Each structure stands twice: as C-alpha cells, then as structure tokens.
Structure 1
Amino acid sequence: MLKEKEKVVNNFLAFVEVVIAWLSFNMAMFFCFGHFSFLKYKDSIIIHLIIGLVWFILGKYFRLAQLHRSRPYSAILFNCVVLVLTGTSLLGLAILGFELDYIGFNPLPYFGFINLFLMFAFKIAIYSSFKRARVHGRNTRSIIIIGDYTATSFIEKLLKYKEWGYKIVSIVGNNDLARIYQNVIPVLPPDTDVAKLLEHKTIDEVVFIKERMHVDEVEQLTHACSEVGVIFRMYSPFFNMLKSKAHIHHYNTMPLLTISNTPTDYLAMKVKAISDFVISLLVIILASPVFVLISILIKFTDGGSVFFKQRRVGLRGRRFDAFKFRTMVANAEELKQELMDENEMEGPVFKIKNDPRITKIGRFLRKTSLDELPQFFNVLMGDMSIVGPRPPVPEEVQKYERWQLRRLSMKPGITCTWQVSGRNDIPFDEWMKMDLEYIDNWSLKLDFVIFLKTIRTMLLADGH
C-alpha cells in the first residue's frame, strides 16, 4: 500500500513540475513578446506537448518527483539545475527541428531562470511542509536497527534530524550499543528473533549496519522481511567501493569483478577539470578588488609579506607550493616548536584553536575562509582542484599510516567535506576517513553540494 501511495504522489508531483514548466514558458514569452504563447499561436500545442513530455521524462530520470526524507536542499538544487539545463537545450533543438521561427531562442534564457526559480521554490515548499509534519509526529516510519558499533553514526543522525521522520522502535545489538542507548531506545540482545519481532510490532523498515556481515544472517533477515512485506536495508563499508568503482572486465570470455578505489568516470573528471579552470579564473577576476583590499590590510597590520607560501603534497605525492594570505606573524614557523605541547589535534596534524601566532586580520580571514582565496591560482596551475582532500605538508605525510596514503590518490582541493563539517572538532582519523569516503563516493553532484556548503560556511563565518 505504501508503494502504491508513493507512486501516486510521485506522479502527481511530476505533473505539477510539467505545469510549472508550461507556466514558466508562457511567462518567458510574455517578457519577450508581450503575450502568452497559448493565446497567440494555434500550433503552440506542439511546444507545450514537447515541454510536457521532456519535463515529465527528465523529472522521472533525475528522480525529482520522489520525496526523499533525508535529501539536502543543495542536492535538490543540483538536480533542478541539471534538469532545467538539459530540458532547455532539448527545447531549443525542438524549436529548430519543428521550425518554430516565431519563438526563436530569445525566450529560452528567461524560461530557464524562471523555471529553475519556480521549480526549486515548489520543492522547498513541499519538503518544508513534510519536514514540519514529521517533526510533529506525522508521516513517520517505524524502523528496527540491527548493528554493531558502526551503526552509532546512523543512529545519531536519526535522533538528531527529527524532520526525517524515522522512529527507532528498537535496536538489536551488542553491549556497546546497549551502554550508549539503553536509556533512550530499547536495546535487544544480538540473538533476538527478528522474525517474531516483525510479527508482534508495527515495523516499516529493518536497517542492517555491521562492519562484518555473515551471509547466513543476511539471508535470514531478508527472508523474514520479505515474508511480511517489510523493507530491508543494509549498509556495509564494502558498498563504498561497489557503489561506483565496480565493473565487469572480461578476460577473453571470463568475466571478473574489477574494483578501482579512485574515480574512473573520464568524462565527469574532464568536466571537473574544465569547471575548476573556468570557475577559478572567474573568481580571481571578480574577486580582484577583495584581493587588493586584503593585501592592504595585511600589509598595514605588521608590514610583513602579504602571501604565505608553503610546500604541500598533491596528487600521488607530487610536491607543489600552495599559496594563502598570511594570517600569522612573520616568525610563525619558529614559534611552532614552542607550541607543540598545546596541539589540539590527534595524529601528525598541528592545530590550535586560539593560536597566539594568528594576527587580528588573520583571525577574520580564517573564520571566513578568505585566506584560501590565493589557492585559486594553484587551481589554475593544475596543482589543486576547487573540491578535494586538503593538501598536507610533507612532514604530515611521513607520519601517515598506510591506509591514510590513499587520500593522495585524488587531486587536493581548496575545500572538502572536513572544511564544512567542523574542522578542528573532528579527530584526525575521522578526518582521514571522511576524505576516503569522498574519494569512494565522488561525483559532480557531491562537489556541487560541498561547494554550496562552503559558501554557507563563509557567510556564517564559522570556520576556525
């Protein structure tokens, strides 16, 4: 019943997206020619049918009509942008192919911007209303979590984000989970009969999260869920590799499962490289007044150099000089040895929250991340990317454990998941795992989401 209900809702939302596209097109025609298309031209039915067909298909393809409980607004915006760009391009080809010369290409930019604004606004309104309903206990889903200590991150997110609408009925886990959640959620022993549990409780989903999974256990759980029509979900660290890094490679007629732990989508990586160059060039040109202003402020603060150059380690161990606006006193490197005992980070990284070496203007630049602006020159030179793991110094890399070296398998970036997730509040090992997770799950969409979150971090000035 739930699937049928969701299907009806999704089809209705897809139809609303088509209506928004029709409305956007007629508004664009009015802005360009002073009249609405459907009132002026008899064959406007053709263009409206094309818009309806294209937007309905693209909406289904990009899954925009599906209401995801935990999807961030940045991901929704990305899908809206891709849909509008693709749809508008196809609409232009249709105008050319059907020889609709009276329309031309002039209304298309207006159509794109209007459609993007209205569609995203509609999505925000829908998602916001559903989130408010879930916070107040409506439209919720009851779940059972079967896991070990690796499930804590997932459980914490469900407890934190009430708007997702997931109610944890019970946890089937070991003593580690019992010690943490026994006063919050009923924790049952690992040998609990889940099949009987599903018979006596109202459960919508079962989520299995364990570092090591046994095939027999998973088979029993999937069978128990399928018997009573309950959704079964499973997470394994192995999925990070399989998600986008696995493919079948044939040696003669023998198929072999091949796993690569770095991004292999050649076209997407090329798009990333071109985007890095274009965006960096635009940022440097548009932000040139900011460069000048910051340079003057640094120079007048203590008269020292404006830029700070430091040797960093890039893609697969390549060395390069990274540039930043100087935020510390001129003799910061010499003072570092005196402050080693005050290091607040675990592992080889040296960071102090209230570092006495930071200047007044430097503190502001760090909080707003403006000190990173000169690194756009590093991106132009090809040593860095806009989004990617932060480039370490050689001394840090020498202290890496073997598994941590894999973060060097992708070009370093100005911003990354760590930059927008708390920075110094995150332990070193967790930071390294976040970088590896970024590499394992890399996509243009992920870069877009991190880029938007970086802008938010800069505007809120909550970096340190």
Structure 2
Amino acid sequence: MIREKENVVNNFLAFVEVAIAWLAFNMSLFLYFGHFSFLRYKDSIILHLIIALVWFTLGKYFRLAQLHRSRPYSALLFNCVALVLAGTSLLGLAVLVFDLYYIGFDPLIYFGFINLALMFGFKIAIYAFLKRARVHGRNSRSIIIIGDYTAASFIEQVLKYKEWGYKIVSIIGNQDLSRLYGELIPVLSPETDVAKLLEDKTIDEVIFIKGKMSIDEVEHVTHACSEVGVIFRMYSPFFNKLKSKAHIHHYNTMPLLTIANTPTDYLAMRLKAIFDFVFSLLVIVVASPVFVLISALIALTDRGPVFFKQKRVGLRGRKFYAYKFRTMVVNAEELKSKLLEDNEMDGPVFKMKNDPRITKIGRFLRKTSLDELPQFFNVLLGDMSIVGPRPPVPQEVKEYERWQLRRLSMKPGITCTWQSQVEMIFHLMNG
C-alpha cells in the first residue's frame, strides 16, 4: 500500500515538473521577445509535446520525482542541473530537426536558467514542508531495526535527524545495543520471533544491519516481511566495497548479484558500435584514393610489404592483428633489441625520439597519423573502436601491474582522449 501510494505521488510530481518546464519555456519566450505570439501555433504544440516527453522521461531517469527522506539538497541540485542541461540540449536539437531556426538558441538559455530556478525552488519547498511535518510527527514511518554493534551508527542518525520521519518501535539486538539505547528504545532479544512481532505491531519497515549475517536469518526475516507487506531494507559492510555498479541479473529464474565495472547501457553501447562501423566504412570509401597513393609511395621508396601487422591485445585479453601502413624498415623488430638502452619511456612501452628504423615516408606518415588509416579495417572487423585506449602489444601486457590491466576492460581504439595529452607531456619532458 505504501509503495502504491508513493508511485501515485511520484507520477503526480513528474507531471508537475513538466508543467514547471512549460511555464519556464513560455516565460523565457516572453522575456526574450516581449510577447507570446512570436511562436507559431503548430511549432508551439510540437515544442510543448517535446518538453513534456523529455522532462517526464528525464525526471524518471534522475529520480527527481521520488521524495527521498534523507536526500541532501546538494544531491537534489545536482540532479536538477543534470536534467536541465540534458533536457535543454535535446530541445535545442529539436529546434534544428524541425527547422525552427527563427526561434534561435538564446531563448533556450533563458529557459534553462528559469527552469532550473523554478524546479529547484519547487523541490526545496516540497522537501522543507515534508521535513517540517516529519519533525512534528506527521508523515512518519514505524520501523524495527535488527542488528548488532554495526547498527549503532544508523540508529544515531535516525535519532538525530528527526526530519527523516523514522520512528524506531523496537530494536532486536545484543547486549551492546541494549546498553546504548535500552533507556530510549525497547531492545528485544535476538531470539525474538519477527513474524509474530510484525503481526502484533504496526510496522512499515524492517531494517537489517549486521556486520556478520546468516543467510538463513535474512531469508527468514524477508519472508516474514513479504507475508504481511512490510518493506525490508538491509545493510552490510560488503556494500561499501561495491565501488562498481551492482544489479540483480536473472538467468532464467535464478537471480545473481552482478557487479560491473564497465558501462552496461546496452542501447548506448550498440549505438556506439553502429557509429564505429558506419564511420569507419565512410572513411575507407572516402579516403580510398589516399590509401592507393600511400601504398604506391611505400612500394616505390622502400622494398617490402605496404602494410604492417602486429599482434595486439584487445578486449579482456583477446589477441588480434592491428594493421597500419608500414613506417619502418622490414627488420624493425629485430633491431629493437639493440636500441632498448635508448628507450625514452619508463616501463614496458618503447619510444625513441629519433628512431633510426623509421623510413623517410614513414616519418611523414607518423607525423600526420596517416599510418593509422588501415586501423579502420580493424574497427570494421570488430577488434577495435574509434575511441578507446590504445591497443598494447602482448609483451607490454606481461609487464603490467595488476591495476593497469583495467585498460583491457574496454575495446581498444584508434584514438583516445588522453593520447594527445600524453604525447604533449612526453615532448615537454624531453625538451
């Protein structure tokens, strides 16, 4: 019943956020143009529908419509800013898509600031009203805490922050909790029958906090709560170690706790893969004359193959051959062992400013990065991406420290955001 009531309230607040966005949009038009009639009726309908769809969806995504009892105002402001930035950007994109150039982008800037001020102000008012009501005993939740010494911190917070609206009916715990809170709250024996207690008292939530827990005990308590429709919450010190995203994934009917330390947004990853394929195919087609010209120059100036392939390490340690235009002499790998003492980089990476193995045409290709054009074929084959960490050679990976292996958790790329900065630092260090 409580959850159903919350869903109704959350949906209502989501519609209020849409109404606030509509109000902010019209205010921005009036402030910028001085009247409302500037916007054509059909265009007005389109933009208002887009605002409704975008703000309702983003409001759900950022969970702004949910009234968290313990959410700080800083987190609330951050989510409001994120929604306004994303929403206003999409609205600007709609102006381009629907050829509404006569509106311009300046009113959208007005809209962003006005919407942020109105929405955050509305949220502050709602939260302030509810906090005041909870301090005076209204909109409260009756809870039972099952725990050991690790529950003391949470109990202290509940007693301190009255605006959370939690009323501790009783604590089921050991002598440590009895000694600390026995005079303020009834502390019951760990052998207390939770199911019977939930029948005898009006309880909204059961909060389980133990440093060492028994699976049988947790299962018993959750079953007792589900039978009477009481919310169950649980804390474990193990949760603090879950720095990565965690979720429950079902294999048929078996739920498994899944911890992911890489992006898991399927739609975003598929769109990225589609972009990589289409963009690479386009580059290869458009730059095909360049491919032919470079191939001819290499063949005419230096005997040997036009392309250079080298085994690299990709996603999660998968081996593949990366292709480039050859920029070094044919026996470059054999000569490398003689030049190791001139390596200008620390660790497994080999880099030399004036590498004698590089051919004349190779220096030009490297300086212009044209030697990497064939790697677009690697993208088409699915071994690489346009943007990602540079693919290392197997020998480098063997010398990695454990934490450096994380770079293999993503598909390697032709370029990455750090590459230019690393190269710049390298040149500065070497004068």
TM-score (norm. length: structure 1):
0.53
Aligned-partner residue type, residue 23 of structure 1: L
Q: Secondary structure at the match of 1:65?
A: coil
Give the C-alpha shift of residue 39 in structure 1.
Answer: 7.0
Aligned to 2:197: 197
Change (3 A) 1:207 1:258: closer
Report 1:320-359 matches (<5 A).
none
Q: Distance in 2 between matches of 1:225 and 1:69?
A: 21
Report if the CA contact (8 A) 1:246-1:259 is conserved.
yes
Structure 1 residue runs of 4 or more that deviate by more than 3 Å after TM superposition: 37-42, 245-248, 256-260, 263-267
Q: Give the equivalent residue in structure 1 for 2:84.
A: 84
Measured in 2, the distance between the counterparts of 1:4 and 1:247 equals 23
The AA in structure 2 aligned to 1:99 is: D
AA of the residue aligned to 2:208: F
Number of residue-to-residue matches in the alignment: 262
8 Å CA contact retained: 1:142, 1:203 = yes
The 1:110/1:241 distance shift into structure 2, 3 A limit, reads: same
Please list the CA deviations of residues 189-232 of structure 1 after superposition, one character each: whole Å capped at 9, or x if unmatched: 11111110000000000000000011000000000000010001
Larger mean CA deviation between 83-92 and 42-51 belongs to: 42-51
Residue of structure 2 in register with 1:63 after alignment: 63
| Alpha-carbon distance in 1 for matches of 2:205, 2:119 | 31
Letter in 2 for 1:84: V
Q: Spell out the pairing of 1:59-458 with structure 2 (5 A cutoff).
A: 59-242=59-242, 244=244
Aligned counterparts of 2:245 and 2:61: Cα–Cα separation in 1: 22
Q: Please give the secondary structure, in 2, of the residue aligned with 1:53.
A: helix
Shift of 1:264: 6.3
Higher relative contact order (CA 8 A, sep 6+): 1
User: Which letter maps to 1:41?
Assistant: Y
Q: 2: distance between equivalents of 1:37 and 1:164?
A: 47
Q: 1:102 Cα deviation (Å)?
A: 2.2
Q: Which has the larger radius of gyration?
A: 2
Task: Please tell me the residue identity of whatever aligns with 2:3.
Answer: K
SS of residue matched to 1:43:
helix
Confirm or deny: 8 A CA contact 1:20 1:119 kept in the other structure.
Answer: yes
Would the alpha carbon gap of residues 259 and 79 (structure 1) be closer, same or farther in structure 2, given more than 3 Å must change?
Answer: closer
Aligned residue in 2 for 1:291: none
How far does residue 38 in structure 1 lie from its aligned partner after superposition?
8.4
- 1:143·1:167 contact (CA, 8 Å) conserved in 2? yes
Provide closer, same or farther for how the CA distance between residues 129 and 223 of structure 1 changes in structure 2, counting only shifts above 3 A.
Answer: same
Q: CA RMSD in A?
A: 2.7
Percent identity between matched residues is: 79
The alpha carbon displacement at 1:245 in A equals 5.4
Whole-Å separation in 2 of the counterparts to 1:257 and 1:79 = 27
For structure 2, the 5+ residue unaligned runs are 249-255, 266-402, 404-431
Letter in 2 for 1:203: I
Q: Give the gaps of 5 or more residues in structure 1.
A: 249-255, 268-408, 410-464
Aligned mates of 1:134, 1:88 — CA distance in 2: 35
Give the equivalent residue in structure 2 for 1:3: 3
Q: Deviations over 1:327-380 (max 9, x none)?
A: xxxxxxxxxxxxxxxxxxxxxxxxxxxxxxxxxxxxxxxxxxxxxxxxxxxxxx
Deviates more, 1:99-108 or 1:17-26: 99-108
Query: What amino acid is the match of 2:133?
Result: A
1:35 CA drift (Å): 1.4
CA contact (8 A) 1:139 1:165 kept: yes
* Distance in structure 1 (CA, Å) of the matches to 2:145 and 2:120: 33
Change (3 A) 1:185 1:175: same
- Matched to 2:152, the amino acid is T
Change (3 A) 1:257 1:139: closer
Alpha carbons 2:146, 2:209 under 8 Å: kept: yes
Tell me which amino acid in the other structure corresponds to 1:82. A
Residue 47 (structure 1) aligns with: 47
DSSP-derived class of the 1:13 partner: helix
8 Å Cα contact 2:39/2:103 also seen in 1:
no
Q: Distance in 1 between matches of 2:245 and 2:121?
A: 35
In the TM superposition, residue 4 of structure 1 has moved relative to its aligned partner by 1.8
Q: 1:108 is aligned with what amino acid?
A: L
Structure 1 residues 110 and 42 mapped into 2: Cα distance closer, same or farther (>3 Å)? same
State how far apart, in whole Å, the 2-side matches of 1:53 and 1:245 are.
28
AA aligned opposite 1:181? Y
Measured after TM superposition, the shift of residue 259 of structure 1 is 6.5
Structure-2 change in CA distance of 1:180 and 1:9 (3 Å): same
The residue that corresponds to 1:23 in the other structure is 23
SS in 1 for 2:69: coil
In structure 1, the residue corresponding to 2:242 is in which secondary structure? Answer: helix
Give the whole-Å Cα distance in 1 for the aligned partners of 2:56 and 2:186. Answer: 44
> d(CA) in 1 for partners of 2:131 and 2:212?
34
The structure-2 alpha-carbon separation of the partners of 1:64 and 1:266, relative to structure 1 and needing over 3 Å to count, comes to closer
Going from structure 1 to structure 2, the CA distance change for 1:176 and 1:38 (only over 3 Å counts) comes to farther
Cα pair distance change 1:257/1:179, threshold 3 Å: closer
- Where 1:185 maps in the other structure, the secondary structure is coil
Contact 1:26 1:37 survives alignment (8 Å): no
Alignment CA distance shift 1:154-1:123 (3 Å)? same
**CA distance in structure 1 between the aligned counterparts of 2:113 and 2:153, rounded to whole angstroms:** 39
Contact 2:195 2:221 in 1 (8 A): yes
TM-score (norm 2): 0.57
The secondary structure found in structure 2 opposite 1:171 is strand
> Structure 1 residues 144 and 109, CA, compared in 2 at 3 Å: closer, same or farther?
same
Instruction: State the shift of 1:257 in Å.
Output: 8.1
Q: Which amino acid aligns with 1:130?
A: L
Cα distance in 2 for residues equivalent to 1:121 and 1:104: 27
Question: What's the CA shift string for 1:229-264, capped at 9, x where partnerless?
Answer: 00010000111223625699xxxxxxx98869xx76
Matched position secondary structure for 1:99: coil
Structure 2: which amino acid aligns with 1:106?
D
Closer, same or farther: CA 18–134 of 1 in aligned 2, 3 Å: same
Partners of 2:232 and 2:108 in 1: how far apart?
A: 45
Gap change, CA 1:259 and 1:111, over 3 Å in 2: closer
Deviation at 1:32, TM superposition (A): 1.4
